[in-house]
Structures are given as C-alpha cells and as structure tokens.
Amino acid sequence: MWQIFHKLGSPKWFFGIASTLMPWLLVAGAALLMTGIVWGLVFAPQDYLQGNSYRIIFIHVPSAFLAQSVYIMMAVAALVTLVWRMKLADVFVTAVAPVGAVLTFLALFTGAVWGKPTWGTWWIWDARLTSMLILLFLYFGVMALGAAISDEKSSARAVAVLVLVGVVNIPIIKYSVEWWNTLHQPATFKLTEKPSMPAEMWVPLLLSVLGLYLIFGWLACLRMQTHILAREGRTRWVKELVQARGN
Amino acid sequence: MAFDSFSAFLAMGGHGPYVWACYAMFFLLMGVVIWWSLRQRRVVIAQQQRRAAPMPSADERPTASFTRIESSQD
C-alpha cells in the first residue's frame, strides 16, 4: 500500500503516466465538448421561457462546474501537501490554479452576458455571484502567494494553507441558491432527482461538462509536466529526457 | 434542427450577440490558456537543454562574457 503511495508521489512515474494519458484525454475531451456544444447550439429545442439565450448554458454550466471542482481537487492536494509533504500534490496546486481562475472568469462572464437578456441586468450582488467572485480572487491569491515565496517548501506550505482556508467558500457557492433569495436558477443536475429539463437539453449539457473535464485533465497533465521539468532539472532522468528531445 | 435557416441560427431569435459573445470568449480564453501552457513547456525544455549542454572548452570560450542568471518565475 505505502509503496504504491510513494510511487504515486514520484514525479518521474507521474511524468510517464501523464504522457500516455494525454492524447486520449485531449481527443476524447475535444470530441465530447464539440458534440455537446454543436448539439446544444443547433439541435436542442428552444426554451419556452428564455428563447435562445439559454443556449449559453452549454458553456456556462461546464465552466462553473469545473471552476468549483478544480478548487476542491486543489484543496485535497493541499491537504496531502501538508500531511505527507508530497511534492506532486504541490505541483498540482500551482499548475492548475491559473486554469481554475480562467474557468471561474468564464463562468462569471457567460453568466453576466446571460443575465442581461434574462434578468435585465449584468450583475447583482447576490450570494451566488458574489461567492463566485470570491472564488476568482482566491485563485488569484493562490497564484500570487505561490509566486511571492521563492523557497519551494515554504511556498508549498503557505499556498496549501490558503487553499484550505478558502475551501469554506465552496459550500457557500453550492447552497447560495437555496439559502438566500436570488435571481439565479437552482442547480440543473442533482444526484437525487431527475433533471428538470428534457433530455434533448440535458444530454448535450452533460456531454459538454464531461468534455471540459477531460480537457482540464489534459491541461493539468501538460502543466504539471512543465512544472516537474522546471523543478527537477537537477535529476538525471530529466536531463536524459530533455536531451532525448533533440538538440 | 431548431432553426429554419442559417441566418435564423446566427440571430438566435434576437439573442445572437449575447450567445455569440459568450462562445467567442469561451474559445478565446481556452485557446489562450492552451497556447500559453504549450509555450511555457517549450521554454522550460529549452532552458533545461541549455543548462545540460556541456561547457565549451577553454580556447573556444570568449575571454570576457556576461553571466546568464536564470530565475524561474513559477
């Protein structure tokens, strides 16, 4: 058991696994995302209340969903960093924080543009929108803190603490539409109930969520590999690998 | 097919600008993140290659030189 755990934490081992997985993640992710988007844009029926503006959902929900999942994954990695001092966990946190920030921004942007024709306003300071904005600032904070401390170990620990403190925000985002009055509609997918929309709408939405998930997986592998190459430059396997890439 | 014609598809029942602005921003930013990540990787590999390259011998080396200080921004 512990051997597997140590192997999992080894940057060299991860580098190899990531290289094998990446082409599959990219191809499957792009295919699913494009299927979901084309289906949603062209073939899904119009919404009886919102007309065609609702078609923004096919990128809004995936972005918002990923923005929160990425933060939860970062929090798990941060815990692993603090408890087991695993290098790879910190590599994950620093590598994916900018991706999380972009996804959060996309969720906010598409939400604002969707809000204009639907609610009549770009922005309201309600719980859902404000807590998402806080999530964006948390991502910025993680990036800034990581860049500000040059010592690898103290940087990893400080970032991990910040990520874990910020995780309080996640349940607030999740339940904000139930705890407070808001213009925002409730969650589309729930584990316990059937979606409140017809299958011609939720199937493409599910496809685009899965597709963006896989593309995030590809991006995470790519960015983690880059961080590993930069950090492990002194080890022999990185030197050999870099040389093998042609001079 | 939810639309009768291509122009109806572009107009999105009057919501065209909103819908297309969202999709444009989505593909633009995802594209930028992917491009930037690929570029970062190339830069790091080039950096490590330079570091791993053997030092030139004494007579090939210029007599005066600048010292390159590499610092990682990550």
Task: Assess whether pLDDT exceeds 90 at residue A189.
Answer: no
Please provide the DSSP assignment of A178-243 as one string. HHS--SSPPPS--SSS--SS-HHHHHHHHHHHHHHHHHHHHHHHHHHHHHHHHHTTTSHHHHHHHH
SS3 for chain B is: CCCCCHHHHHHHHHCHHHHHHHHHHHHHHHHHHHHHHHHHHHHHHHHHHHHHCCCCCCCCCCCCCCCCCCCCCC
- For residue B28, being part of any structural domain is answered with yes
Three-class DSSP category at A111: helix
Question: Which range is most confident: A49-63, A181-195, A228-242, B17-31?
Answer: B17-31
Q: Where are the domains of chain A?
A: 16-190+199-238
C-alpha A168/C-alpha A206 separation (Å) is 27
- For residue B60, being part of any structural domain is answered with no
Three-class DSSP category at A118: helix
C-alpha A188/C-alpha A3 separation (Å) is 41
Share of chain A above pLDDT 90, in %: 50
Do A147 and B73 make contact, defined as CB atoms within 8 angstroms?
yes
pLDDT bucket at A247, cuts 50 / 70 / 90: very low
- For residue B4, being part of any structural domain is answered with no
- For residue B1, being part of any structural domain is answered with no
pLDDT at A191: 63
Task: Assess whether pLDDT exceeds 50 at residue A215.
Answer: yes
Q: What crossing angle do the helices spanning A57-84 and A127-148 adopt, rounded to 10°?
A: 40
pLDDT digits (tens, 9 = 90+) for A117-146: 888 888 888 888 889 999 999 999 999 999
Which candidate in A54, A226, A227, A228 is best for mutational testing of the B interface (most B CBs within 10 A)?
A226
pLDDT bucket at A73, cuts 50 / 70 / 90: very high
pLDDT digits (tens, 9 = 90+) for A7-57: 667 888 889 899 999 999 999 999 999 999 999 888 888 887 777 888 899
Q: What is the pTM of this model?
A: 0.86
Stronger pLDDT, B67 or A184, i.e. the higher one: A184
pLDDT bucket at A214, cuts 50 / 70 / 90: very high
What is the mean pLDDT of the segment spanning B4-33?
88
Domain count, chain B: 1
- For residue B6, being part of any structural domain is answered with no
Instruction: Identify the closest residue of chain B to A99 by CA–CA distance.
Output: B33
Stronger pLDDT, A62 or A181, i.e. the higher one: A62
What is the mean pLDDT of the segment spanning A157-179?
89
What is the mean pLDDT of the segment spanning A204-221?
95
pLDDT digits (tens, 9 = 90+) for A47-57: 877 778 888 99
pLDDT digits (tens, 9 = 90+) for A79-112: 999 998 888 999 999 999 999 999 999 999 999 9
Which among A37, A41, A233 is the nearest to B51, CB-wise?
Answer: A233
Do A43 and B30 make contact, defined as CB atoms within 8 angstroms?
no
* ipTM score assigned to the predicted complex: 0.87
CB A218 within 8 A of CB A22: yes
Question: Tokens 């290289």 map to which residue?
Answer: A19
Q: Which residues of A touch B51 (CB under 8 A)?
A: 233
Domain holding B45, by residue range, is 20-49
For A16, A143, A152, A164, the CA distances from A85, given in Å and listed in that order, are 21, 20, 12, 15
- For residue B41, being part of any structural domain is answered with yes
pLDDT bucket at B60, cuts 50 / 70 / 90: low
Q: Which residues of A touch B13 (CB under 8 A)?
A: 46, 51-52
pLDDT at A164: 94
Cα distance from A62 to chain B (closest Cα, Å)?
A: 11
Do A56 and B74 make contact, defined as CB atoms within 8 angstroms?
no
Share of chain A above pLDDT 70, in %: 94
Stronger pLDDT, A242 or A213, i.e. the higher one: A213
Residues B33-42 as b or e (16 or more Cβ within 10 Å = b): bbeebeebbe
A120 touches chain B (CB under 8 A): no
